[in-house]
């Protein structure tokens, strides 16, 4: 049976009940004022620090509440879950805390850091299976396993209990601001499968009806935007798995139902992965926050959101499970996004002094070569090289291109997003 077949609206009372059920193991996460972002946007910007949960993500809320609602018979049969990593940690934590056996499926791109943390939280209570190239493939394997064994699937987002559990984030935000004498004007929420956004929408609809909810999803996995355009959930043909915590091919049916009920109070933006990387670095360098890509989505979305001067906005930092080995790629994507790093195919004549000429006549005083790699030699007269150049300022690109056009050395820029760029540079 599809979740939409049994859909019941979620209300603040449901979420408050969930708060009571999870309060013994999940303490409220801090609501942190951010001076940098507040000054930048002329408003009071707060960060909801879900990265400080025991499993470094809000996902523990929905996972624990869902498992806590199982009958004795369902507990005995065990649970199954699929996740890109964060939901899995929540399920693993709940399984060990509640004495329930779990089997967790994660896709192959899931960072090793997340896999290790799943095992730490679950211990002997869980079995970890790595399968498929995307969350959706891992989820299919999980459902097949559950059906074969009679286990219960703990959905990461497409379940009413999960939505209710995730909605406790909004309950905390409203209460924390109220204790300061403030009201919530705008809340920015990362969107993957839609569980967090739908929980937030449900709570504020009852308890803070003037609040605007802004959903932010990655450009490479904009399943909610696709559903809005189609008028119903659709399955994307392919996705960019980089923002792994939000890389979902299809918005959940239950979150979609909730979104439809409250869409008049919501906005949805798609954010470039490079912009997400830039915000990850900014959060680390300025606030000391280690956010994973999905955790920085809400902050990246501020640039597309109209924030009224003097209003109060909250960005949910949804997770902090980031593998340090990924920071080289994070830096790369950020530099490319900001127009500071560019790649060129340079056809050097096979004559002495050509590299010296390139450095003297083409490269600017503040330009740096960050990559130089000879490719297969075409002929005796020329030899092609892949050259990566980092600029001091984005507007230095135009003069660089002019010098290239005026040179005897053949230079061709590789544009991000093209098959040629993906094959030669990204590949």
Q: For residue 245, what is the DSSP state?
A: G
Within 8 A by CB and 6+ apart from 186, the residues are 211, 212, 213, 214, 305, 307, 311, 312, 313, 314
Catalytic residue among 59, 103, 114, 249: 59
3 state DSSP class of 421:
helix
Q: Is 208 a catalytic residue?
A: no
DSSP 8-state class, residue 362: I
User: Could you tell me how many helices (H) and strands (E) the chain has, helices first?
Assistant: 18, 14
318 is catalytic: yes
> Of the residues 83, 198, 282, 318, which is catalytic?
318
Distance (Å, whole) CA 164 – CA 66 = 9
CA 410, 416, 420, 425: dihedral to nearest 10 degrees? 80
Closest CA relative to residue 217, chosen from 111, 293, 159: 293
Q: Pairing state of beta strands 186-190 and 312-317?
A: parallel
**Residue 291 and residue 229 in contact, taking contact as beta carbons nearer than 8 Å:** no
What is the C-alpha separation between 370 and 267, in angstroms, rounded? Answer: 40
Q: Which distant-in-sequence residues (6+ apart) come within 8 Å of 380 by Cβ?
A: 350
Which of 143, 250, 268, 164 is CA-nearest to residue 206? Answer: 164
Beta bridge pairs of residue 348: 383
Q: So which residues are the catalytic ones?
A: 59, 318
């Amino acid at each position: 049976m599809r979740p939409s077949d049994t859909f019941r609206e979620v209300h603040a009372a449901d979420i408050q009940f969930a708060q009571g059920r999870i309060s013994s193991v999940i303490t409220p996460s801090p609501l942190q004022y951010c001076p940098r972002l507040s000054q930048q946007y002329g408003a009071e910007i707060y960060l909801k620090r879900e990265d400080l949960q025991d499993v470094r993500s809000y996902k523990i809320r929905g996972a624990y509440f869902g498992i806590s609602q199982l009958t004795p018979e369902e507990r005995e049969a065990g649970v199954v879950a699929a996740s890109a990593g964060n939901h899995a940690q929540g399920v693993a934590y709940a399984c060990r805390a509640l004495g329930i056996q779990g089997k967790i499926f994660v896709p192959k791109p899931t960072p090793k850091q997340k896999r290790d943390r799943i095992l730490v939280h679950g211990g002997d209570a869980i079995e970890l299976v790595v399968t498929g190239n995307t969350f959706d493939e891992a989820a299919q394997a999980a459902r097949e396993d559950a059906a074969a064994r009679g286990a219960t699937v703990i959905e990461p987002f497409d379940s009413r209990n999960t939505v209710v559990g995730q909605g406790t984030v909004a309950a905390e935000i409203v209460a924390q601001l109220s204790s300061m004498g403030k009201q919530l004007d705008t809340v920015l929420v990362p969107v993957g499968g839609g569980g967090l956004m739908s929980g937030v929408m449900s709570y504020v609809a009852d308890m803070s009806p003037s609040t605007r909810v802004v959903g932010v999803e990655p450009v490479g996995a904009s399943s909610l935007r696709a559903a809005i355009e189609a008028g119903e959930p659709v399955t994307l043909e392919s996705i960019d798995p980089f923002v792994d915590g939000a890389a979902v091919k299809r918005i959940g049916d239950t979150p979609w139902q909730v979104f439809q009920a409250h869409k008049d109070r919501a906005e949805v933006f798609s954010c470039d992965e490079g912009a997400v990387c830039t915000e990850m670095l900014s959060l680390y360098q300025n606030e000391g926050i280690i956010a994973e890509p999905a955790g920085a989505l809400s902050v990246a979305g501020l640039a597309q959101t109209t924030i009224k001067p003097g209003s109060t906005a909250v960005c949910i930092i949804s997770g902090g499970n980031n593998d340090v080995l990924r920071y080289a790629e994070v830096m790369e994507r950020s530099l490319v996004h900001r127009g500071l790093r560019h790649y060129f195919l340079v056809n050097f004549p096979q004559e002495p002094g050509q590299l010296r000429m390139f450095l003297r006549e083409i490269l600017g005083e503040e330009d740096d070569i960050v990559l130089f790699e000879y490719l297969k030699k075409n002929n005796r007269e020329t030899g092609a090289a892949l050259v990566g150049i980092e600029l001091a300022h984005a507007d230095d690109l135009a003069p660089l291109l002019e010098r290239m056009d005026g040179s005897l050395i053949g230079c061709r820029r590789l544009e991000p997003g093209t098959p040629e760029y993906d094959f030669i540079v990204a590949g």
